[in-house]
Amino acid sequence: MLSEATLILIVGLGNPGPQYQNNRHNIGFMAVDKIAERHNFPPFKQKEKTLISEGRIGTKKVILVKPMDFMNRSGSALGPIARFHKVPPENVIVIYDELDLDAGKVRVKQGGGAGGHNGIRDIDAHFGKDTWRVRLGVGHPGHKDRVTSHVLNDFSKDEKGWLEFLLVAVADEIPYLVEGNKDRFMTNVAQIMQD
């Protein structure tokens, strides 16, 4: 279980390159960057097909990971890092965008299906389904034909207000999740987003 782990990987999903950095699909990268900032992690360094930063959150050693392959190849980028550090899937937290959650909502669970998310599907295929998933709601555009353009477009000016609150809340409350208390993490983030 997460609470007994000595090393945790926190993986943010996104697409590499400046043209994608403010896309809704890159909220996982944004969250990991905010965690690094709020918990004083050193600058990210290239390792294999990832950017990593090592530090501590609470009592745990944590490696923040941003796969530098495209979203649908996230698993092939993550796998070598996890194997090198001998981190099992249940000690990995993956943060990513979720269309089927209202904007600013957060859900956490271990394992389950990919729900149509190509990054999670690739992680499941290369690494197993027992990772912890932190789904950050980006809202649904209303019709399946608009999904791709929705996630591959930047957050709007109106969305940037709640987005910053969400990223800070996730970063500030992540110690609870790292210590294995997913319910406290979700409750605290939800409370912050309501205030």
**β-strand 7-12 against 92-98: which pairing, if any?**
parallel
* pLDDT tens for each residue of the chain, 195 residues long: 565 667 999 999 999 999 999 999 999 999 999 999 999 999 999 988 899 999 999 889 999 999 999 888 898 888 888 889 999 999 999 999 998 899 999 999 998 887 888 889 999 888 888 999 999 999 887 888 888 888 888 999 999 889 999 999 999 999 999 999 999 999 999 999 987
pTM of the full structure: 0.94
Cα–Cα distance measured from residue 17 to residue 38, given in angstroms and rounded to the nearest whole number? 23
- Check 25, 39, 117, 150 and give the catalytic one: 25
Sequence-distant (6+) residues with CB within 8 A of 67 are: 11, 13, 49, 50, 73, 74, 77, 78
The answer to whether 25 is a known catalytic residue is yes
Given a contact cutoff of 8 angstroms between Cβ atoms, the answer to whether 5 and 91 are in contact is yes
CATH code for 2-194? 3.40.50.1470
Order of strands across the sheet that contains 45-47: 45-47, 50-57, 60-67, 7-12, 92-98, 132-137, 106-110
